[in-house]
């Protein structure tokens, strides 16, 4: 696949997704109308969305207990950057630790590998909300017993980073570890690995120099699943930790359809381009798009 063809394909996907998000939001806010007026109301709302998309500075939202009218674009910047720092840091943490623990586990005996996989499967079966709530309770319990507060489990008006990044990363990290380890096991059965072993190369050297390259490309092809899992975890974390981030802004924007639509687009576009970059790397390494 040529890179030019891929870029055009992604451009049309981006355009289609922006329009589709607009249709879904327009339809949802028009459900209160009668059946005869529904189609006209949806079209009118889509026209309003199009105007808002081209004139971002004109969009306002009501914030605070007194419903103060505030320009969306100025109000959006701070919570968006805050949440994006948490998400991007969580992704780096997840990807790094997932690959590292896959490498370490691959060096263990088959019996120990099985034990590790079963333990991680058990952890992954825990619901996100329960897991995050348990982390909060553990920090409070530790503080009561030792009078040591590792991190503040409730953000309030202050920005906290360490605990949200760690909590958001854990369950996606387990998923990425399982994916990468399965990919390593699959790659280790291929002919080139057997040939490398026959030449006397160690498992660690083969893994670092040959297997991981193909595994990383495979992981890039599943990056969108990882991103949306991180996003769903952050949604729960912001609610339970009382973090004033992007999703709290998104909840505030529910009362203003134009602002809500723009916030959804602002959430989608960065991850779309990050995934596109990962796929471009995969195309460069393999000559084909991995999601195909």
DSSP-assigned states of every residue in 154-206: --TTS---HHHHHHHHHHHHHHHHHHHHHHHHHHHTSHHHHHHHHTT--HHHH
Give pLDDT, residue 16.
Answer: 93
The tens digit of pLDDT for each residue in 105-125 reads 877 888 888 888 788 777 777
Span 65-72, mean pLDDT? 74
**Exposed/middle/buried for residue 198 (C-beta within 10 Å: 0-12, 13-18, 19+):** exposed
Extract the tokens encoding 82. Answer: 């805050």
Question: CA 238 to CA 247: how far, in whole Å?
Answer: 7
Q: Which residue has the higher pLDDT, 21 or 205?
A: 21
Extract the tokens encoding 122. Answer: 């058990």
Question: CA 206 to CA 179: how far, in whole Å?
Answer: 19
- CB-based contact 164:241 (threshold 8 Å): yes
Q: Which residues fall within 8 angstroms of residue 211, CB to CB, at 6 or more apart?
A: 184, 187, 188, 193
Strands (DSSP E) contained in the chain are 60-63, 68-71
Span 276-280, mean pLDDT? 81
CB atoms within 10 A of CB 290: 18
Give pLDDT, residue 292.
Answer: 45
Taking each helix axis as running N to C, give the angle between helix 212-221 and helix 223-240, from 0 to 180 degrees, rounded to the nearest 10: 60
CA-CA-CA-CA torsion for 189, 193, 194, 195, nearest 10 degrees?
Answer: 150
Span 5-23, mean pLDDT? 88
Question: CA 143 to CA 2: how far, in whole Å?
Answer: 57
Give the N- to C-terminal CA distance of the chain in Å, as an integer: 11
What is the helix (H) or strand (E) element at residue 241, kind and residue range? none
Question: CA 245 to CA 78: how far, in whole Å?
Answer: 8
Instruction: For the chain, give every domain's residue range.
Output: 91-247
**Exposed/middle/buried for residue 78 (C-beta within 10 Å: 0-12, 13-18, 19+):** middle
The tens digit of pLDDT for each residue in 194-221 reads 777 787 777 777 777 777 777 877 777 7
Q: Over 80: is that where the pLDDT of 153 sits?
A: no
Q: Over 60: is that where the pLDDT of 86 sits?
A: yes
Give pLDDT, residue 20.
Answer: 92
Q: Which residue has the higher pLDDT, 68 or 37?
A: 37
265: left (phi > 0), else alpha (psi -120 to 50), else beta? Answer: alpha
Longest dimension (CA), the chain: 76
**Exposed/middle/buried for residue 116 (C-beta within 10 Å: 0-12, 13-18, 19+):** middle
Q: Which residue has the tokens 């009561």?
A: 144
Weakest-pLDDT range from 86-90, 96-100, 288-292:
288-292
Give pLDDT, residue 286.
Answer: 62
The tens digit of pLDDT for each residue in 214-255 reads 787 777 777 778 888 888 888 888 887 778 888 888 888 878
């Amino acid at each position: 696949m040529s890179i030019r063809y891929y870029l055009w394909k992604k451009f049309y996907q981006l355009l289609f997704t922006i329009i589709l998000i607009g249709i879904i939001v327009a339809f949802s806010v028009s459900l209160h109308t009668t059946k005869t007026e529904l189609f006209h109301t949806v079209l009118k709302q889509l026209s309003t969305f199009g105007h808002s998309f081209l004139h971002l500075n004109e969009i306002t939202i009501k914030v605070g207990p007194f419903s103060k009218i505030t320009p969306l674009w100025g109000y959006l910047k701070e919570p968006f950057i805050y949440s994006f720092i948490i998400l991007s840091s969580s992704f780096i943490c997840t990807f790094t630790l997932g690959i590292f623990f896959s490498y370490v586990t691959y060096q263990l005996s088959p019996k120990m590998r099985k034990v590790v996989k079963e333990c991680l499967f058990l952890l992954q079966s825990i619901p996100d909300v329960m897991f995050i709530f348990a982390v909060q309770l553990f920090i409070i319990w530790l503080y009561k017993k030792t009078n040591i507060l590792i991190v503040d489990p409730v953000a309030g008006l202050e920005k906290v980073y360490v605990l949200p990044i760690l909590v958001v990363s854990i369950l996606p990290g387990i998923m990425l570890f399982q994916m990468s380890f399965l990919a390593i096991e699959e790659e280790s059965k291929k002919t080139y690995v057997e040939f490398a072993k026959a030449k006397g190369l160690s498992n660690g050297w083969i893994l670092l120099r040959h297997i991981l390259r193909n595994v990383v490309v495979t992981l890039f092809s599943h990056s969108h699943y990882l991103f949306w899992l991180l996003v769903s975890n952050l949604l729960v974390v912001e609610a339970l930790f009382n973090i004033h981030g992007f999703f709290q802004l998104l909840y505030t924007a529910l009362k203003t359809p134009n602002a809500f639509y723009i916030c959804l687009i602002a959430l989608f576009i960065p991850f779309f381009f990050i995934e596109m970059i990962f796929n471009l790397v995969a195309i460069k390494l393999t000559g084909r798009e991995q999601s195909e």
